[in-house]
Structure 1
Amino acid sequence: MERELLERLLVGNDEASVAALAALRCGGSYEVWDGTTSAEPLALAYGRRLRHTRRRGIETVNLERAVELLGRHQQPVRLGQIRAADGSWIFMLFLTEDNSGVIACTGVRRTRV
């Protein structure tokens, strides 16, 4: 996927989409993987991730909403990721099967070890 197309897709006004777009425009790296997966197992996996990040106090944006949207989505999902240039955030993108829209976007702050 071309960077410009991904930028056009990140038109949402939720906090994660705005931050992911800013990260992309500031030189962040990105990848959209080939293939699709069912939304249901993604909703379950990211629901577990939501509980984990809350227990650990890890900062996230829009994770709860992403889980909700994935739980309602009935079509295959394509995955993508944006990494902020400074490595401080990773954004997961859940795209429509044909790459025509963003179903959900969430971000997690990277902890330094």
Structure 2
Amino acid sequence: MTRDDLIAMLREQTPACGPARNALIAGADFVVWDGLVPANRHAGVFRTRMRRSLKRGRTVDGLANSVDILRRAGEEPLRTGSIDAVDRSFWFMIFLNSTATAVVACFGGRRPITMESAGL
């Protein structure tokens, strides 16, 4: 898969897809892994992460939408990938169909600032 392929596949599946597309256009690194995992397994994992994030007062763009999309996709096997902005300040998780020809869901946004990332 090329950068241009992925840019073309990122539409308006979730609110994070536009920013993910923009990051790719700006030169972000990306990877799509070969393994396939049922969508509903991803939904369970990320539903838990969403609850933890909300308890900490942090929202992640497109996460609730993605969890819902993944839950509805049931046993459909999906590929996963990630996008890291050039300056590493933004990250995105992407879910593609089994043939990696369509983005099913996407979430992400600004990385939280930690003591380590702040150089402290």
Secondary structure of the 2:35 match is coil
Give the drift of 1:13.
6.2
Structure-2 residue corresponding to 1:98: 99
Structure 1: tracts of 5 or more residues without a match: none
CA distance in 2: counterparts of 1:26 and 1:82, whole angstroms: 11
1:46 is the counterpart of 2:55:
no
Match of 2:22 in 1: 22
Identity of aligned residues (%): 35
1:14 is displaced (CA, Å) by 3.6
Which residue matches 1:86? 87
Distance 2:72 2:52 in 1: 22
The structure whose residues are more often helix, as a share, is: 1
Q: Deviations over 1:1-47 (max 9, x none)?
A: 21111111112264200000001111111000012111111000000
Contact 1:58 1:108 in 2 (8 A): no
SS at match of 1:31: strand
Q: Contact 2:14–2:107 (CA<8 Å) still a contact in 1?
A: no
Q: Would you say how many aligned residue pairs link Structure 1 and Structure 2?
A: 113
TM-score by length of 2: 0.88
**Structure 2 spans left out of the alignment, 5+ residues:** 115-120
Separation in 2 of the partners of 1:81 and 1:46?
Answer: 14
**Alignment partner, residue 31 of structure 2:** 31
